[in-house]
Structures are given as C-alpha cells and as structure tokens.
C-alpha cells in the first residue's frame, strides 16, 4: 500500500463522528497537512464541530505565538458532510462514534460495503474489542484500533490496537500515520480496555469509593494524589474531564469482560450519571464548572 512516510503523507483521511473526539482527530489530521472529510449524520453536530475546531485553533495558535493566517489553511483542508458515501475512496477512516459495540459493528459493516478495497478502517474506541468489530466486516485484516486521548490536539499518545486478524501492513501504515501527525504510539494486542484505561480506571474508581465512603473531600483526594504521587491532575477532576458517562461505559465494559471485582463500578459514579451530572461538559460532576 504505502511504503514510506512520504507516501503516508499523501493519504486521504476520513473521520466518522463529529463529537469531541472526532472533531479533535479531524483537527490534528488537517494540521498535519491531510485533506480530511469529517462525516456525521447529525448536521447540527457538524456545525458545532466546525466552530469548535476554529476556536481550538485560535486558542492554540495564540498560546504558541504562531501565524494566525495558517488557521484558514488548516480549516480549508476539512470538508464537513452528512453523506457517508463521501468516504468511499478514503485511504484511512477513523471511526469516532458513541462507545457502543453494536453501533460500531453496524457502522463498520456499512463502511466495508461502500469503501474501496484499499481503505483501512480504524476505531477510536477506548476499550471495545477490535477483533469483534473487525469480524463484522470482510476486511478484518484492515481493521485496527487507533485510540486517541482527550483533548486530542493536546494529548500526545495514541494506542494502536491489533485485532486477531489485523495485518502487519495495516499496523505499519497506522504507526507511520501517528508519527506523521506528531503523536507517539504504543502497540497493543486486543484485550479489554487495552493498556492506559485498564490501569487508570481502577484508580479513578477507588477515588470515587473513598469519596463515597466519606473518608475525604473531593478536593483533598485530588490534592493528595497530585502532591503525593506527582500527578498533574487529581483523579476526580480527571474523571470530570473525561466525562462521567464515558467513564461509566468504560468501567462497565471492563467489569463485564473480566468479571474481576477490582473493576466494580462505584455507586457514586452511577448516581452522578443518572442525575445528568457528567463533569465539565455539563458544568457539574464532582466539581462545579462555569
């Protein structure tokens, strides 16, 4: 397919899903020089994504004291569309829809049916099985996990996850793509929640158990972890940043897949999600936000 980093730089990139992760992925791809098609069936979501990318670029360029004229060039490389057929001739498509295995399998089967044979389809899932998603297609060798972290323009890591049938060629192309967009990658064999979340979720859960048991306040729990373990952000503030609904979904997946009690979901997390207090995105989680 693509034998060099130079050839990888010529690829056409599609992103399916214009939410927080999808628009962040589109932004970093376009910033690296790629022509990007950002697709979402919800036209209102596409409008919000365009505004978000524009605002993020202005904030970033101001912080880094860069030429604001470049912002227009980056935006011009992103095409916003509600038509999935616009993705047919993409070299790589990154799926970033809701974290639901059935929906992802349905979308992958649809993309498999309409896309050219060359197309690699990557999922931004934070923990669902790449092997199972790939099995919903006739191109399991060209299905791979490409897990970005939030906020995508800032976070340097991408987890690259091989499904059981992912080819070495597919992996190498995606590894080169990650390098081209200025990120670092780690290589992972398909397993529940991969690496980072599998290690992170129990820590976040335990912080919630400590809070729920009244052992310490949210502020003191976070302060203790920041000053005692040199973390840049406390676990409860981080949970709010991730989104408590997202965290609940991830935690439930890990517990269901492993059956290990150490991954049990804190009642306090369920309570916040049921109340609609999802963290920063709703203005309230373990903390209040303006």
- For residue 200, the surrounding DSSP H or E stretch is helix 196-212
- DSSP string for 132-194: HHHTTSS-GGGEEEEEE-SSTTT--EEEEEE-TT--HHHHHHHHHHHHHTT-EEEEEES-TTT
From the list 197, 205, 249, 272, the catalytic residue is: 197
The one catalytic residue in 31, 123, 129, 147 is: 147
Cα separation, 177 vs 174, whole angstroms: 5
Catalytic residue among 159, 167, 249, 272: 159
d(CA 64, CA 60): 6
Helix (H, G, I), strand (E, B) or coil at 12: coil
Distances (CA, A) of 254 to 58, 123, 245, 267: 37, 18, 14, 16
Asked about 126 being catalytic, the answer comes back as: yes
How far does Cα 84 stand from its chain's mean position?
Answer: 20
Q: Sheet containing 92-95: which strands, arranged edge to edge? A: 78-81, 36-39, 13-16, 92-95, 120-123, 143-148, 157-162, 184-189
Does 151 sit behind a cis peptide bond, omega within 30 degrees of 0 on the bond before it? yes
Contacts of 284 (CB under 8 A, 6+ apart): 277
Q: Which of 23, 31, 126, 167 is catalytic?
A: 126
Residues recognised as catalytic: 126, 147, 159, 197
């Amino acid at each position: 397919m693509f034998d060099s980093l130079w050839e990888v730089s010529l690829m056409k990139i599609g992103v399916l899903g214009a939410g927080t992760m999808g628009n962040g992925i589109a932004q970093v791809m376009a910033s690296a020089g790629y022509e990007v098609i950002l697709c979402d069936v919800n036209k209102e979501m596409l409008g919000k994504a365009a505004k978000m990318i524009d605002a993020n670029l202005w904030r970033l360029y101001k912080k880094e004291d860069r030429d604001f004229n470049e912002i227009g060039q980056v935006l011009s490389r992103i095409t916003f569309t509600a038509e999935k057929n616009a993705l047919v001739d993409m070299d790589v498509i990154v799926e970033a829809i809701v974290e639901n295995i059935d929906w992802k399998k349905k979308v992958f089967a649809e993309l498999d049916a309409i896309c050219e044979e060359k197309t690699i389809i990557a999922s931004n899932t934070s923990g669902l099985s790449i092997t199972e998603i790939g099995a919903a297609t006739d191109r399991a060798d060209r299905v791979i996990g490409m897990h970005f972290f939030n906020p995508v323009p800032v976070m340097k890591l991408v987890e690259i996850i091989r499904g059981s049938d992912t080819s070495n060629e597919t992996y190498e192309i995606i590894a080169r793509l990650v390098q081209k967009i200025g990120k670092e990658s780690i290589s992972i064999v398909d397993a529940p929640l991969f690496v980072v979340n599998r290690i992170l979720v129990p820590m976040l859960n335990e912080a919630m158990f400590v809070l729920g048991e009244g052992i310490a306040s949210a502020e003191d729990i976070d302060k203790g972890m920041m000053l005692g373990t040199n973390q840049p952000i406390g676990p409860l503030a981080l949970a709010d940043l991730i989104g408590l609904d997202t965290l609940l979904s991830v935690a439930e997946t890990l517990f269901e897949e492993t059956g290990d009690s150490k991954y049990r979901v804190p009642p306090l997390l369920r309570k916040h999600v049921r109340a609609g207090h999802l963290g920063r995105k709703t203005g309230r989680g373990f903390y209040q936000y303006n």
